[in-house]
């Protein structure tokens, strides 16, 4: 097995990539200050939550325009009555009861998939890829009420969805040059166009999240904006989280081994440790609506700030994940879902390996995605360790 270097994000607290972000973007890392800021949504507004980290070139903007791409405020980037109304509806589809009701079927699906694979390295890596991507996608479709007939009607293939999703993260939260922006803009435009067609098919069906939003008067552009956000910043970031969890399980850097994850409590503890220290969504952005002071620092009207949600060294045996999914009125509604499905997946993998008497290890050190607000291990390749 290759060496096990420290996660390259462990030193992010020193500059957190700020040299690559706008000089006007101030980092706030103190947890108390972050909570105070997120607890004042009328002063620190989410107007920049979904804006690109770098200015997009005129050509890439024209490409997006040709696809009729737009993201009007609807949830993460909305405030006031609009946010409260949409949040209430989304919360009903991602309620704790609905999430917990998925456990049995999800675990069964994972177990069936694992029982059918042959134990060579290529199949093991492909199985992890399929499950780390497929489980979050399956749950997103189930919980939002988008049935297979709708997805088939708009030719929405899961693997294409995954490719478009990572491109969207890079375009809006990365630092692509002008040439790369044009490539990404085509991919992101195609995703937006497909999702726009998808939500249109959901119109008149209030048992789907998107149909319900139409029912309360939301426009096609607004409903598509939410679908885009849930797809890119929801289900795909859970895939990235699962990648990081598998990495830490196999390297033991969080003091819980992959083998120990056969115990569901240990699996959940590992998930929570990763959420506390290396979440796939370590930062949020906010804009200052009026001059104010927090923690002795004055923030001028119009200033943009970067809030650190994750990435601090753990100081407790019981991980503090209170900020891992945000805080206050905008706290992520998929928090329980992301933690739960990550736990179910790593636990089922470890149980399968234990039952088969297999020891898993990394084929090689993974590449790491390093974007302004999304950071994780990517393309994790695993294999069965040779007997010694």
List b or e across 154-168, with b for residues whose CB sees 16 or more CB atoms inside 10 angstroms. Answer: bebeeeebbebbbbb
Q: Compute φ and ψ for 274, nearest 5 degrees.
A: -65, -40
Q: What is the pLDDT of residues 82-128, one digit of tens each?
A: 899 999 999 999 999 999 999 999 999 999 999 998 776 678 999 99
Give this prediction's pTM: 0.93
Does residue 276 form part of some domain? yes
Does residue 1 form part of some domain? no
Work out how many domains the chain is built from and give that number: 1
CA distances from 125 to 6, 224, 227 (A): 22, 33, 29
Q: What is the pLDDT of residues 190-242, one digit of tens each?
A: 999 999 999 999 999 999 999 999 999 999 999 999 999 999 988 999 999 99
Task: Supply 382's token pair.
Answer: 């695993």
Quote the domain boundaries for residue 14.
8-382
d(CA 16, CA 300): 22
pLDDT band at 314; cut points 50, 70, 90: low
Does residue 387 form part of some domain? no
Q: Of the candidates 322, 285, 327, which has an alpha carbon nearest to the alpha carbon of residue 306?
A: 285
Pairing status of strand 304-308 against strand 25-28: parallel
Q: Of the candidates 177, 197, 98, 89, which has an alpha carbon nearest to the alpha carbon of residue 139?
A: 98
Res. 19: pLDDT tops 60: no
Does residue 109 form part of some domain? yes
Does residue 155 form part of some domain? yes
Average pLDDT of the segment spanning 145-171: 95
d(CA 56, CA 67): 16
- Token pair 């995605």 in the structure block, residue: 369
Does residue 106 form part of some domain? yes
130 exposure class (CB count in 10 Å sphere: 0-12, 13-18, 19+): middle
Does residue 3 form part of some domain? no
Average pLDDT of the segment spanning 125-149: 96
User: Looking at residue 317, which CATH number applies to its domain?
Assistant: 1.10.630.10
* Structure confidence at residue 117 (pLDDT): 87
d(CA 363, CA 381): 5
Does residue 20 form part of some domain? yes
Q: Would you list the DSSP string of 186-230?
A: HHHHHHHHHHHHHHHHHTT-TTSHHHHHHHTT--HHHHHHHHHHI
């Amino acid at each position: 097995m290759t060496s096990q270097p420290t996660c390259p994000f462990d030193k992010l607290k020193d500059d957190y990539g700020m040299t690559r972000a706008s000089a006007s973007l101030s980092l706030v890392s103190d947890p108390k200050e972050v909570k105070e800021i997120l607890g004042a949504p009328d002063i620190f507004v989410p107007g920049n939550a979904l804006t690109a980290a770098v200015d997009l070139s005129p050509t890439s903007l024209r490409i997006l325009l040709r696809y009729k791409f737009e993201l009007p405020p609807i949830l993460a980037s909305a405030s006031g009555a609009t946010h409260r109304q949409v949040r209430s509806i989304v919360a009903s589809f991602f309620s704790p009861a609905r999430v917990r009701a998925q456990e049995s079927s999800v675990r069964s699906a994972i177990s069936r998939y694992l029982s059918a694979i042959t134990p060579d390295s290529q199949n093991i890596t492909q199985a992890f890829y399929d499950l780390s991507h497929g489980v979050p996608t399956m749950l997103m479709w189930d919980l939002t009420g988008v049935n297979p007939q709708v997805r088939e009607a708009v030719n929405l293939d899961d693997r294409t969805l995954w490719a478009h999703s990572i491109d969207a993260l890079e375009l809006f939260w990365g630092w692509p040059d002008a040439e790369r922006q044009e490539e990404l803009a085509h991919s992101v435009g195609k995703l937006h166009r497909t999702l726009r067609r998808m939500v249109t098919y959901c119109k008149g069906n209030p048992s789907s999240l998107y149909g319900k939003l139409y029912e309360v008067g939301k426009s096609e552009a607004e409903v598509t904006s939410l679908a885009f956000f849930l797809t890119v910043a929801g289900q795909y970031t859970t895939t990235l989280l699962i990648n990081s969890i598998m990495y830490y399980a196999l390297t033991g850097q969080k003091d819980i081994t992959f083998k120990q994850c056969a115990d569901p409590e240990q699996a959940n503890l590992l998930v929570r440790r990763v959420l506390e220290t290396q979440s796939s969504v370590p930062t949020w952005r906010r804009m200052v609506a009026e001059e104010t002071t927090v923690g002795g620092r004055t923030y001028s009207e119009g200033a943009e700030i970067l809030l650190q949600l994750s990435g601090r060294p753990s100081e407790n045996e019981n991980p503090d994940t209170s900020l891992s999914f945000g805080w206050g009125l905008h706290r992520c509604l998929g928090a329980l879902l992301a933690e739960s499905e990550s736990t179910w997946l790593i636990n089922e993998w470890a149980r399968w390996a234990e039952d088969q008497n297999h020891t898993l290890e990394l084929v090689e050190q993974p590449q790491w995605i390093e974007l302004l607000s999304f950071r994780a291990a990517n393309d994790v390749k695993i294999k069965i360790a040779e007997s010694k």
